[in-house]
Amino acid sequence: MTESIPNTAPASFVPPRRVLMGPGPSDVHPRVHAAMARPTIGHLDPAFVAMMEETKDLLRYAFQTANTLTIPVSGPGSAGMEVCFVNLIEPGDTVIVCRNGVFGGRMKEVVERCGGVAVMVDDAWGTAVDTGKVADALKAHPGAKALAFVHAETSTGVQSDAETLCRLAREAGCLTIVDTVTSLAGTPVLVDQWGADAVYAGTQKCLSCAPGLSPVTFSDRALDAIKNRSSRVQSWFMDLNLVMGYWGGDGARAYHHTAPVNALYGLHEALVMLREEGLEAAWARHRTNYMALRAGLEAMGLELLVDEPHRLPQLNAVRIPEGVDEAAVRRRLLSDYDLEIGAGLGDLAGKVWRIGLMGHSSSATHVILCLTALEGTLRDLGVPIRAGAAAAAQKVLF
């Protein structure tokens, strides 16, 4: 036997139990776990097709839209992003891309991979997209095909004014491509009210679901642009003209790919739970828990990166005190409390922690645990902070 090949079978993998309070994934609700463990059936089974239709209706509720083409893409939020761009953008198209963090930069790369021309509107990390700059860019490029922006920038915890940005694009006669990966179900996403055209999200954030699916929705304007392309969509797998043969309306479904059956069970259950709670209640829960976390952080003397009017309640960028080894703090939280928070990305690497309050992770229990663990860890490391974080949060919560 070859020495490099092990002769004993590995043991089953049993992951540690963590409390996920980073930028995603968030904790998956037990009901979703239970749903995903149900028996697998065929992806063309009539019972599964009926569940697909319910999932589409539930997604329309989550997105607040009547769009016919509202489906979950088989793949994470990045796949949803690519579906939007590769179906709408053709070689030579001009796209105005707003970049105020990591994910605006990803939009630029995808535009260029589609053969498009990306006109960048840059804003400082930690600030919202400047609508005045966008208006100027639209005037300077009257032939632009689309305006692309991130509603909730996960790398910074900033929320931009989606309604105004979509209005500016409509007035200029161009489409909008909107990233709501971190905002859907955690803060208002109002696709029809905004007049957004192509919107994508992810399951692993505020929907309390496992990673691996990306809800998307397309307006009639966007559908017209897809149907009237002058060139074929560059990706066979992501070509919506083909995908809709499987996710289409009543009647026989055409095989396109083997859908992730059990993952879709989980999404369906997560959306049922969202409907039971109600969107407004879910938004309010995320807001209340953010206010409690903010009170505790401020009681310790810690500062948040983003100005209050543009701050995401479900993703908080916390400035790291001077001289603190931020990675050591995260390691201690993980080893001592099984608590995961996120590091900074890009321009903010080493400057902030990112604390998520998303979906099932947005609860009073999580807030108190996070504040107590962070306060204890910083004090153990000799960081001069004030005590009383949990008490300050409890005044908001109870």
Instruction: Enumerate domains of the chain plus CATH numbers.
Output: 30-276 (3.40.640.10), 279-397 (3.90.1150.10)
Which pLDDT does position 389 carry in this prediction? 96
Peptide bond into 142 cis (omega under 30): no
Bridge partner list, 158:
153, 311
Which pLDDT does position 251 carry in this prediction? 59
Distance separating alpha carbons of residues 371 and 35, to the nearest angstrom: 32
Tokens of 243: 């995908």
Which pLDDT does position 20 carry in this prediction? 98
Distances (CA, A) of 396 to 120, 202, 328, 341: 41, 30, 30, 22
Which pLDDT does position 8 carry in this prediction? 85
Which pLDDT does position 1 carry in this prediction? 52
Which pLDDT does position 9 carry in this prediction? 84
Bridge partner list, 72:
215
pLDDT by residue for the chain (398 residues), tens digit each? 556 777 788 899 999 999 999 999 999 999 999 999 999 999 999 999 999 999 999 999 999 999 999 999 999 999 999 999 999 999 999 999 999 999 999 999 999 999 999 999 999 999 999 999 999 999 999 999 999 999 999 999 999 999 999 999 999 999 999 999 999 999 999 999 999 999 999 999 999 999 999 999 999 999 999 999 999 999 999 999 999 888 886 656 888 998 999 999 999 999 999 999 999 999 999 999 999 999 999 999 999 999 999 999 999 999 999 999 999 999 999 999 999 999 999 989 999 999 999 999 999 999 999 999 999 999 999 999 999 999 999 999 98
Distance separating alpha carbons of residues 355 and 326, to the nearest angstrom: 13
Q: What 3-state class would DSSP assign to 113?
A: helix
Which pLDDT does position 248 carry in this prediction? 82
Distances (CA, A) of 201 to 47, 72, 206, 216: 26, 9, 10, 6
Bridge partner list, 97:
120, 148
> Would you say 83 and 93 are in contact if contact means Cβ atoms under 8 Å apart?
no
CB-based burial label for 13 (10 Å; 0-12, 13-18, 19+): exposed
Neighbouring CB atoms inside 10 A of 170's CB total 17
Which residue reads 């209706």 in tokens?
57
Which pLDDT does position 395 carry in this prediction? 96
Distances (CA, A) of 22 to 29, 303, 317: 16, 17, 10
Tokens of 342: 């996120």
Distance separating alpha carbons of residues 98 and 110, to the nearest angstrom: 13
pTM attached to this predicted model: 0.96
Distance separating alpha carbons of residues 224 and 138, to the nearest angstrom: 21
Neighbouring CB atoms inside 10 A of 153's CB total 33
